[in-house]
Amino acid sequence: MSSYYFAYGSNMNPQRMRARQLQFQRVLPGRLARVALAFNKRASDAPNMSYANIVHAPQGTVEGVLYELSSAREIAKMDPFEGTPRFYSREIYSVATAEGDIPAWVYVANRAMIADDLLPARWYVEHLLAGREFLSESYYQDLLQTPCREEVEAAW
């Protein structure tokens, strides 16, 4: 049985996933229904900055990158990067693809980490934009309009 991981934030950048040594067989576009993208997860490594999260939105859709993992154990490699279980919880969501719905691991920010008064850094949003080939043009254009902090320091 295959195991999948759906990225909607900075992990939409396949180069970032390779740098994190995630082993995957293929990558494809995916969508989550009834949620919206929010940059409301307080960054644990930069308290004045936020990271991506998904929030309930009955009419919403979040696009992202679905990684077919080389083995079911691969997802555990992501937990330290996501700060699981403290900062994000890892949950199973149904991801819509051209091949049908596929259950996949998705990281969701824990309530204690939510802050609605912060912005992501420009370098962080650039990782989302790196997933362009997996996104619709309208979703990509919306990401380009994301208000950002203009800090130049990048963290991998």
Q: Please report the pLDDT score of residue 151 as a whole number.
A: 61
Q: Please report the pLDDT score of residue 105 as a whole number.
A: 97
Name the fold adopted by 3-144.
Hypothetical upf0131 protein ytfp (3.10.490)
Which residues, in sequence order, are CB contacts of 27 under 8 Å at separation 6+? 14, 65, 66, 67, 68, 134
C-alpha 137/C-alpha 100 separation (Å) is: 21
Domain segments of the chain as ranges = 3-144
Q: What percent of the chain has pLDDT over 70?
A: 95
Q: Please report the pLDDT score of residue 47 as a whole number.
A: 76
Query: Tens of pLDDT along 85-105?
Result: 899 999 999 999 999 999 999
Burial of residue 96 (CB within 10 Å: 0-12, 13-18, 19+) is middle
The two most distant CA atoms of the chain are separated, in Å, by 43
